[in-house]
Amino acid sequence: MILTEKETLALKELQQQEKVCMEHYTLYANTAKDCGLRDLFSQIAQDEQEHYQMLGEVLKGKIPSFSHAASKADAYHPKAAYDPTSSQTDKQHDALLCADSIGNEKLVSGDYNTNLFQFASNDVRKLLNHIQTEEQEHAEMIYKYKQINNMA
């Protein structure tokens, strides 16, 4: 598969965003107060690493295989970590990390939506749509965490 200059540029920009997302979630996993939120951020960081690698494969002219598995968000059922006796400072800290992460996921998902139709290859569009769906699922999982912990 040969990419146009415009397609190559779009992929490199999306890949750069995935790198920033990996770093973002790694940092947040290391600073979250609740271990459940740390685990969630670590898992999302791994997903972002996979997205980065997939985009790298496309830049090399290959279409990586990807799973059409059930939604990760549907399978995610967080446990409440915060109650009225918990540290409100820790809860506020984690709530801020969640709110910031949801905002980032909205931006990244929007960028995939914008760039999706720049590609001639139906296979590349399917891959980008798959990644966009996973970005939306990340936001949904974080929102579920916020809800169960009365942060929403």
Sketch the domain layout of the chain as residue ranges: 5-58+88-148
Residue 70's pLDDT is what? 77
Q: Virtual CA dihedral for 26, 137, 71, 134, nearest 10 degrees?
A: -70
Of 1.10.10.10, 1.20.1630.10, 3.40.50.720, 1.20.1260.10, the CATH number of 5-58+88-148 is 1.20.1260.10
Structural contact between residues 69 and 149, judged by C-beta atoms closer than 8 angstroms: no
Render each residue's pLDDT in the chain as its tens digit; 152 residues.
899 999 999 999 999 999 999 999 999 999 999 999 999 999 999 999 999 999 999 999 999 998 877 788 999 999 999 999 999 999 999 999 999 999 999 999 999 999 999 999 999 999 999 999 999 999 999 999 999 999 97
Q: What CA–CA distances, in Å, run from 133 to 30, 63, 67, 89?
A: 26, 18, 12, 33
